[in-house]
Amino acid sequence: MKTTISEKGQITVPKVLRDRLGIKQGQVLELQEENGRIIMTKADETDPVERLYGILPADPTTDAFIASVRGDPDAT
């Protein structure tokens, strides 16, 4: 498929590709150059901190969790 770069440097991704790849309006794409080619991929919009939020149990407290990880026999 071919597309043309506009005066502003913009391109249009053909609808067939948008539908096939699930690219929606507002989707962030990452571009990188590889051996003279432009590689475009869907950006991971998930915040890396958000992915980790909530993986530790809320109870026991953080101090008790750290003590249990360190092998403290008195940890509750």
Quick: pLDDT tens for 23-41.
Answer: 999 889 999 999 999 999 9
Q: Do 42 and 27 contact (CB within 8 A), yes or no? A: yes
Residue 45 is predicted with a pLDDT of 74
**Structural domains of the chain sorted by starting position, each given as residue range(s) with its CATH number in brackets:** 1-44 (2.10.260.10), 46-76 (no CATH)
Rounding to the nearest 10 degrees, give the CA dihedral for residues 71, 76, 62, 69: 20
Determine the residue type at 38.
I
Report the predicted TM-score, pTM, of the whole model to 2 decimal places. Answer: 0.52
Residue 49 is predicted with a pLDDT of 79
Report the distance separating Cα 40 and Cα 74, nearest Å: 53
Q: How confident is the model at residue 55 (pLDDT cuts 50, 70, 90)?
A: confident
Residue 57 is predicted with a pLDDT of 67
Residue 46 is predicted with a pLDDT of 76
Q: To 5 degrees, how large is the angle CA 32–CA 35–CA 37?
A: 55
H/E segment holding residue 49 = helix 48-52
